[in-house]
Structure formats: C-alpha cells, structure tokens
C-alpha cells in the first residue's frame, strides 16, 4: 500500500497572526511525500535533513488512517522539499498536504475525499503537534487548491479563492523562523492594519494588500522593511512572507529580474518562479 503526492509552497498576502484571517498564494515550488503503509508504528524522514522534526507528517498519516482507513495503523512517510523549512514559504503546510494526499492515495481514497477536507486534516495535524499559531488554513488552502485564498482560520472557512497570474521573486535569508515561535501578541497590536489588508484582498487589490501587510508585519515581527522599499514601486506587491524570514515580490518578469539583482547582494538565496493554479496532486 504505497502512495505519493506533491503540494506547492506559498507566499503571503495577509498574515493571520493579527486577526485570525489570512491570505496566501501558491507558488511553483514543491514538497513531495511518499507513504508506505504497514506495521504498527508511524515513522517519518526528510530527504537530506536527518535531524528534521517529523512529528507533523507522522501525525498526518495517523489522522488519515484513523479517518479514512480500514484498520491500518502504521507506515513510513518520506518528504523531499524544493524549499527550505521554517523560511516563511509554508513548507509545513505543503508537507502536510502532500502527506495527507499520499496517504489517501495509498488507501485508494484520494479521489473520494474533497481537497478542502484533505487540507483540514493537515491543519488539524499542525494544531495537534503545535507547529502553527492559527492553524494556517490560509497557507494550507492555497497549497492544496492552488491560486490565492483568503480564509478565516478561527472557523476554518474559505472566504475567497482567485487565480492571479504573476511572476514571483523570493529572497530567503540564511536564517530560520519557526511560526510557532512568532510573537503573536505583538501581531495582535496591528489588527486594524490587518483588517484593512483583508478588505483590500477581498476587493481583489492583492498587490497593495500584500505591500501594506509587509510593512505592518516587518514592524511587528522585527524584520527590516528595506527590501520592501527597494522593491517599490516597480513591482505589483511585496511582503514579508509568513513569519519570515523570506520576502516575496510579485509583478512583471522584467521588474522582478531587476529587483533580483538588488536582493541577491544580500546573504541568502533568491529565486524566480510563478504563481501555481492547480494545487496539490497525487503522482
């Protein structure tokens, strides 16, 4: 009983740590998962990361087997990622989505379960193992469904989904920032700005929404706003992604290539990609 799947990473339009409402968009970089069911224990590994914390993906396998299985209890999950962990690019949501779909694939149930329900199992797993503040259904839904989603993470409700087509530039500094360690109390102080970002996003003004989000959350979480100022006004939108440390900019390819020359003088890595519209899939 084997299964495999992949799910895209994502960037942020609105960080949900201020109000519980967030927005994210899928990008064309992937986390893949392969699952072999059997035995009585669930184990996990991450290719190239022998010390990685695998509790999230193991919990995903357990929850899928409990919910949709026929008595299966054990198995092994291995993930492989094109993006760094704890970089703000939603690798946890993508790993959870890929693992949930791969486990459903192994059970022969991948087509019988809605993508929203599959994403919600990953959200539950993330809450169970404590790697999220709000549950991050914004990140999980963008990765599972593709495109851009706006969600209420307190009620786990999808408020809107859209398909903007952008080129995307990402800069990931040489550091990690785990979402669960973010200062949620400081984020709550900027709630009026987050409410404004949400209104803009629900009105389809994604670029301005994400740029205001960027300045607000750089302030709240202690990241530099210099990369945002450098990016404006040539791009459609630019923000800190998630709880950092990555920054994402969206817009026209030529403007992003110019910005890449400036961002890549900083320590870390940059890459150009695009929005992704199809979401997670079995392989």
Ligand X SMILES: O=C(O)C1=C[C@@H](O)[C@@H](O)[C@H](O)C1
Ligand Y SMILES: Nc1ncnc2c1ncn2[C@@H]1O[C@H](COP(=O)(O)OP(=O)(O)OP(=O)(O)O)[C@@H](O)[C@H]1O
- Least Å distance, CB 8 to ligand Y, is 12
Backbone angles phi, psi at 43, to 5 degrees: -125, 165
Q: Which residues bind ligand X (CB under 6 A)?
A: 12, 15-17, 22, 90, 132-136, 138-139, 179, 242-243
Sign of CA dihedral 95, 109, 133, 29: positive
Question: How does 178-205 read in b/e, with b if 16+ C-beta sit within 10 Å?
Answer: ebeebebeebeebeebbebbbebbbeee
Q: Does 27 bind ligand Y (CB under 6 A)?
A: no
- Least Å distance, CB 187 to ligand Y, is 13
Q: What DSSP designation does 40 have?
A: S
Query: How many angstroms separate the CA atoms of 254 and 256, rounded?
Result: 5
Site string for ligand Y, 199-238 (x = CB under 6 A): ----------------------------------------
- Least Å distance, CB 191 to ligand Y, is 19
- Residues within window 53-112 making contact with ligand Y, judged by CB under 6 A: 53-57, 79, 81, 85-93, 95
The set of residues, in sequence order, having a beta carbon less than 8 Å from that of 195 and lying 6+ positions away, is 19
- Least Å distance, CB 106 to ligand X, is 27
Q: Does 18 bind ligand Y (CB under 6 A)?
A: no
- Other Cβ atoms less than 10 A from the Cβ of 266: the count is 16
Which residues contact ligand Y (rule: CB under 6 A)?
31, 46, 52-57, 79, 81, 85-93, 95, 131, 178-179, 242-243
């Amino acid at each position: 009983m084997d299964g495999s799947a992949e799910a895209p990473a994502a960037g942020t339009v609105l960080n949900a740590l201020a109000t519980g409402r967030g927005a994210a968009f899928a990008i064309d970089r992937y986390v893949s998962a392969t699952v072999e069911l059997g035995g009585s224990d669930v184990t996990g590994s991450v290719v190239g990361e022998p010390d990685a914390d695998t509790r999230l993906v193991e919990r995903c396998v357990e929850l899928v087997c409990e919910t949709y299985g026929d008595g299966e209890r054990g198995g092994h999950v291995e993930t492989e990622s094109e993006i760094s962990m704890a970089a703000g690019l939603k690798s946890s949501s993508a790993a959870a989505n890929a693992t949930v779909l791969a486990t459903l694939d192994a059970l022969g149930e991948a087509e019988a379960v809605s993508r929203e329900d599959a994403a919600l199992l990953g959200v539950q797993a993330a809450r169970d193992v404590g790697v999220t503040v709000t549950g991050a259904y914004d990140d999980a839904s963008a990765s599972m469904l593709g495109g851009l989603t706006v969600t209420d993470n307190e009620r786990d409700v999808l408020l809107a989904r859209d398909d903007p087509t952008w080129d995307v530039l990402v800069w990931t500094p040489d550091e990690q920032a785990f979402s669960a360690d973010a200062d949620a109390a400081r984020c709550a102080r900027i709630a009026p700005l987050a409410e404004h970002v949400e209104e803009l996003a629900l009105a389809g003004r994604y670029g301005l929404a994400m740029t205001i989000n960027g300045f607000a959350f750089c302030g709240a979480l202690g990241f530099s706003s210099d990369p945002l100022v450098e990016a404006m006004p040539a791009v459609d939108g630019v923000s800190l992604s998630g709880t950092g440390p990555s920054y994402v900019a969206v817009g026209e390819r030529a403007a992003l290539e110019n910005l890449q020359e400036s961002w890549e003088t900083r320590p870390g890595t940059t890459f150009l990609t695009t929005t992704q519209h199809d979401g997670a899939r079995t392989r």
